[in-house]
């Protein structure tokens, strides 16, 4: 694989929403809660999950093992919020 193909992510830009500065340096509960909020993720917690996954992938080898573990814990917590939101959406459609 060429270097250009590996570096595609550096060209990705978003103009819609941004996580608060320094969010990814906080504890997993705070990260999950804020990424699930409507302020940061107006389209729902799944959008926050994509932001977190993007951050982890972008940081790559620069993340320490302990920091990566903290971010993975935040992903687990956020995943539960995503699942809960999907269940609520599904339940409301059935009524």
Q: What is the pLDDT along the chain (95 residues), one digit of tens a residue?
A: 455 556 666 666 655 677 889 999 999 999 999 999 988 888 888 889 999 999 999 998 899 999 999 999 999 999 998 888 888 877 777 66
Scored b (16 or more CB within 10 A) or e, 6-21 reads: eeeeeeeeeeeeebee
pTM assigned to the model = 0.75
Closest CA relative to residue 73, chosen from 19, 35, 40, 39: 35
d(CA 71, CA 39): 20
Closest CA relative to residue 67, chosen from 24, 33, 18, 11: 24
Helix (H) or strand (E) holding 27: none
- E runs forming strands in the chain: none
Torsions phi, psi for 2 (to 5 deg): -80, 160
């Amino acid at each position: 694989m060429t270097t250009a193909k590996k570096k595609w992510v550096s060209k990705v830009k978003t103009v819609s929403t941004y996580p608060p500065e320094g969010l990814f340096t906080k504890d997993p509960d705070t990260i999950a809660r804020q990424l699930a909020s409507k302020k940061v993720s107006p389209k729902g917690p799944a959008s926050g999950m994509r932001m977190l996954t993007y951050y982890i992938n972008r940081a790559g080898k620069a993340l320490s093992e302990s920091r990566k573990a903290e971010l993975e814990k935040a992903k687990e917590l956020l995943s539960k919020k995503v699942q809960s939101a999907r269940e609520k959406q599904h339940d409301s459609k059935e009524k």
